[in-house]
Amino acid sequence: MGLFSRLGDIIDANLNAMLDRAEDPERLIGLVIQEMEDTLVEVRAEAVRSMARRKELEARYRDVEFELLEWDRKAELAVTKGREDLARGALVAKARLADAADPIRREIQAISDSLAKGADDVARLEAKLADARARQGALLARHRSATARLRLRSQIHDNRLEEALSHYGTLQRDIDLLESEAEVMEMGRQPRGLAAEIDALGDDKVTAELEALKARVAGRANPQG
């Protein structure tokens, strides 16, 4: 069963209120659009049938108008010939034919009025359908955005991610510890700088002078040696 019982219900429908009350707005807007599209097809098909009927009636009415002119011509001819009785008979036939043609004329007018109103209804329905499609697009965009946010949040709060980050933190601490141990082991093994090398040279000179001094002292102690 459709959401609407007639075209007027669709045109007068308040989409905002319907969507606000709906448990599943996306599904509802899809159903509304489908019914609008189906109704639009039906309205246009009915308009085609009405136009075809009007053309048929208009053709018949043109034939009647021609016959009315013929009866009028015959009545005039009878008068010119002095046959008032025939003229009267022609005018009676003309009047009967006019009476028979009147329903045709009224039906043509009714169809024309209906088609005019139908054209207005179609325009309003098309506007309503365009609005519904725009709302559907907005709803789908919101749904995709919400789904993406939910997926992102799920990844952020994923235990596997937290575990991986925890392992990374542990590994980083282990690396820091190893680097610190290496630095400690290198302590005291640093290559001597320029000042240290110069000091070392000074030590060698002092040692040499000391040895020379000891040799002189020993020579004085043993002059004959």
| Contact yes or no for 54/167 (Cβ under 8 A) | no
Residue 121's nearest CA partner among 5, 4, 9 is 9
Q: pLDDT tens digits for the chain (225 residues)?
A: 455 556 666 666 666 677 777 677 777 778 888 888 888 888 889 999 999 999 999 999 999 999 999 999 999 999 999 999 999 999 999 999 999 999 999 999 999 999 998 888 888 888 888 888 888 777 766 656 655 666 666 655 556 656 665 665 676 676 666 667 666 666 555 555 566 665 655 556 667 777 777 777 677 666 665
pLDDT computed for residue 202 by the predictor? 57
pTM, full prediction: 0.53
| Contact yes or no for 9/18 (Cβ under 8 A) | no
Euclidean distance between CA atoms 132 and 22, whole angstroms: 15
Helix (H, G, I), strand (E, B) or coil at 224: coil
Helix (H, G, I), strand (E, B) or coil at 138: helix
pLDDT computed for residue 187 by the predictor? 58
Q: What residue ranges do the domains of the chain occupy? A: 7-157, 163-216
Helix (H, G, I), strand (E, B) or coil at 158: coil
pLDDT computed for residue 198 by the predictor? 58
pLDDT computed for residue 31 by the predictor? 82
